[in-house]
Structure 1
Amino acid sequence: MISIIIPVYNQAKKLSLTLASIARQSLSDWEVIVVNDGSSDNPEAVFADFCAQIKIDNRFIFLSQENQGAAAARNRGYQEARGEYLFFCDADADLQPDALEIMLQALVDNPAASYAYPSFFWGKKLFKVGPFNAARLQAGPYIHTMALIRRSDFPVNGWDESLRKFQDWDLWLTMMEAGKQGVWIDKVLFKITPGGSISSWLPSFAYKLLPFLPAVKKYRRAMAIIKKKHVLA
């Protein structure tokens, strides 16, 4: 079974689209755990309305906690998860109907891989991503949070809750240092709506083109924190 963990913080309007894209998956062996990280826009009502529309599918679970950040919300979901595979999904994502099936098959076909990650759209921009490359991963983030992970290879301590940005980059580096690597799927399997992600994901092209923006300065400071943690040049 795949445990789909969705941290949500003030993204109630987008949540129903994400849930609907999961409900129509070609693969049916999954559970969804939505973790409300102290939202003020009542995502529980959106969740309840959605479940009512699909006749209260018992594969959908809703949890709430005080605001602690994306990493803590993901860890909360992970603690409740029952699946042998983990999929940390953003609350503003729209998955292709065969996304889970394709990612699972990639792991079946590549037993040495610990996770499978696809290409995706961020708004209208296509991210082809590319094959797993250790040097490229050490140089900067290029693999999105939304990858299908073998639970047996997921770090015992989960996500680093001390980090405010680049939690995904930190996770992939931590797994790589433990001898784990991913396999790339050369297909677009989801689309992200910019501006709403709980982890404030920012593509690298943005800071290269717009170095003066406050967000970019924070981006660079956050990169320095990750590089120091993992002893990267």
Structure 2
Amino acid sequence: MCNCMLRLNISVIIPTYQHADTIERCLRSVLSQSLQPKEIIIVDDGSTDETEKILTSFVRTTPTLSVFRQANHGSNSARNKGFEHSSGSRVIFLDADAVMRPDMLEKLSKAIDEHPRAGFAYSAFRFGWKRFRSFPFDVGRLRRMNYIHTSALIRREAFPGFDESVKRFQDWDLWLSMLERGYEGAFVSDELFRVVQVRGRRGISSWRPSVFYQLPWFGKKPESIRAYEAAREIILKKHELWM
């Protein structure tokens, strides 16, 4: 049970698009945190399913919850809009199909407190039933591949905004941009959240670590792999990471 008298100065920002099947679990996991956030901000990116109905029921009973709606402009636009409406000294962009462990905010906040040079704190997690342990923060590794999920806790002053022209690997682009500003990451080895897999879904959280796309493929490459390679070239060029 959460200690609702103690609140962290954190804004939880949840972009959502057609996540009626997962948004309730996601929200309940936020409301079950051992230390509650200052506010929860949801940006509905043009959903046409039952998302609005579900969120309306939560708004009635959750004073810290605010919901904003916009036409479908994509996940980066939704995240940036959520940040504009937030006021926490730290923010976390939580995907609508993610379920937090009750101590996630508490542990990530402690990690940032213990690492003054860290602009963000991240953790291991599960994708469905598969564990992605991630890695301790390493500049060289991060320049070669992304291993950090979007759902990390970020210092407000360190956040440069999501580049809305980048359509894939927005998280990798974000971490590289913060790296260029002199910030580091703080790693928590515990699995602090899991991403719920829904059959046939390709929504905001169709996340894969970049190493997934670097596996050898024989014969014709899937479209997702070809799209990855093109997106990777954009990131490498933007950040001058010539391999």
Q: Does residue 207 in structure 1 map to residue 181 in structure 2?
A: no
Q: 2:173 aligns with which of 170, 173, 176?
A: 170
Alpha-carbon shift at residue 226 of structure 1 (Å): 0.6
Runs (4+) of structure 1 exceeding 6 A deviation are none
Question: For each residue in 1:191-231, what CA deviation from the matched residue of structure 2 results, as whole angstroms up to 9, or x when unmatched?
Answer: 01234540532233432447322111111111111111111
Deviations 1:134-174 (A, max 9, x none): 1111111111101000101111xx11000111111000000
* Equivalence for 1:102: 107
Match of residue 136 from structure 1 = 141
**2:235 aligned partner:** 226
3-state DSSP class of the match of 2:35? coil
TM-score by length of 1: 0.93
Show the counterpart of 2:53.
45
Q: Give the counterpart letter for 1:4 in structure 2.
A: V
One-letter amino acid of the counterpart of residue 241, structure 2: L
**2:43 alignment partner, one of 35, 43, 47:** 35
Between 218-227 and 77-86, the greater mean CA deviation after superposition: 218-227
- How far apart are the structure 1 equivalents of 2:216 and 2:41? 36
Match of 1:112 in 2: 117
Across the aligned residues of Structure 1 and Structure 2, the Cα RMSD in angstroms comes to: 1.4
Letter matched to residue 40 of structure 1: T
> How is 1:44-83 mapped onto 2 (pairs within 5 angstroms)?
44-52=52-60, 56-83=61-88
Percentage identity across paired residues of the two chains: 42
Query: Which of 179, 182, 198 pairs up with 2:182?
Result: 179
Contact (CA 8 Å) 1:165, 1:200: kept in 2 or not? no
Give the Å deviation of 1:67: 0.7
> SS at 1:13's partner residue?
coil
Alpha-carbon distance between aligned partners in 1 of 2:111 and 2:190, rounded to the nearest angstrom: 11
- Give the unaligned 5+ runs of structure 1: none
Q: Deviations over 1:51-109 (max 9, x none)?
A: 45xxx111111100011110000000000001000100000001000100010011111
Q: Which amino acid aligns with 1:109?
A: E
C-alpha separation between the residues in 2 aligned to 1:2 and 1:26? 13
**Greater CA drift, 211-220 or 163-172:** 211-220
Gaps of 5+ in 2: 1-8
Q: 1:124 to 1:154 in 2, by over 3 A?
A: same
Q: Please give the alpha-carbon distance, in whole angstroms, between the structure 2 residues aligned to 1:109 and 1:161.
A: 32
* Aligned match of 2:192: 189
Return the match for 1:12 from 17, 20, 24: 20
1:216 is aligned to 2:191: no
Aligned length: 228
Q: TM (normalized to structure 2)?
A: 0.90
